[in-house]
A = this chain, B = another copy of it.
């Protein structure tokens, strides 16, 4: 499987969970330590760490450990790749609708 395809697979998979999307939303405000990220969630820490791991493997976040504190930050390029894919699909679809409108208009003109 080409790398780019596998990347989008992992990326959309990473975003298919509300906890992981909430982490992305939080990191949009700036880097944060594991404990800060975990605080809003009523979840055992090992489960939460698994979510962070999925995000990191998808390339959505990176982390760095200093002493006992691991800090996470967003890496926006993968999110942009997914956004681009979706925008492209929408544009193709809208172009097709425009062409369909044009076709219907032509039929109407001919019928007059």
* A contact residues, total (Cβ < 8 Å): 32
Question: Is the CB–CB distance between A96 and B5 below 8 Å?
Answer: no
Q: Does A89 contact B (CB under 8 A)?
A: yes
Question: Is the CB–CB distance between B28 and A17 below 8 Å?
Answer: no
Q: Does A1 contact B (CB under 8 A)?
A: yes
Q: Does A40 contact B (CB under 8 A)?
A: no
Q: Does A50 contact B (CB under 8 A)?
A: no
Q: Does A33 contact B (CB under 8 A)?
A: no
Question: Is the CB–CB distance between B96 and A87 below 8 Å?
Answer: no
Contact of A83 among B13, B18, B21, B86 (CB under 8 A): B86
Question: Is the CB–CB distance between B86 and A90 below 8 Å?
Answer: no
Q: Does A3 contact B (CB under 8 A)?
A: no
Decide yes or no: A18 and B1 within 8 Å by CB, A76-B90, A87-B83 being known contacts.
yes
| Cα separation A21 to B10 with both chains bound (whole Å) | 13
Question: Is the CB–CB distance between A96 and B28 below 8 Å?
Answer: yes
- A interface residues, Cβ below 8 angstroms from B: 1, 5, 8-13, 15-18, 21, 24-25, 28-30, 74, 76, 79-80, 82-83, 85-87, 89-90, 92-93, 96
